[in-house]
Amino acid sequence: MSLTIYHNPRCRKSREAIQYMEGRGVSLRIVKYLDQLFDVNSLREVLKKIDMKPSEIVRRNEILWKKEYDGNNLSEDQILKLLVEQPRLIERPIVTLGNKGVLARPIENLIEFLNQG
């Protein structure tokens, strides 16, 4: 089983998810999404796999969100484009396998996802 994790090395939850999977011998492809940026189509595809809308993966406690965007009446398409332009606003980690995936926060989401496989 080879999973893809969209990872930010500075995020403790993301590092914990990698450690958890590596500890179970899971083969991983690590995508540092702040370096390998999403475009609208690739992020849309990931959202489809995790069955979530753009608004559901926004890091709402991020200062940038609070200062610039919170309270604005943004459409899902506008939020999608914003996440592509400002990837640090994307909640992480996201783990995918084939055409399925999960927002692996909290880690229990990841554990449940792996147990379904």
105 and 92 in contact (C-beta within 8 Å)? yes
pLDDT of residue 1: 56
CA atoms within 13 A on the CB side of 14: 19
Question: Over the stretch 80-100, which tens digit does the pLDDT of each residue have?
Answer: 999 999 999 999 999 999 999
Local confidence band at 117 (pLDDT 50, 70, 90 cut-offs): low
Question: Over the stretch 29-46, which tens digit does the pLDDT of each residue have?
Answer: 999 999 999 999 999 999
- What Cα–Cα distance (Å) separates residue 1 from each residue in 23, 32, 52, 111, 112? 14, 20, 23, 14, 15
Bond preceding residue 93 cis, omega within 30 of 0: yes
Which residues are part of the catalytic machinery?
A: 11
pTM of the model: 0.93
Local confidence band at 63 (pLDDT 50, 70, 90 cut-offs): very high
Distance between CA atoms of residues 53 and 35, nearest Å: 23
Q: Which residue has the tokens 């995508």?
A: 31
What domains can be seen in the chain, in order of their start residue?
2-116 (3.40.30.10)
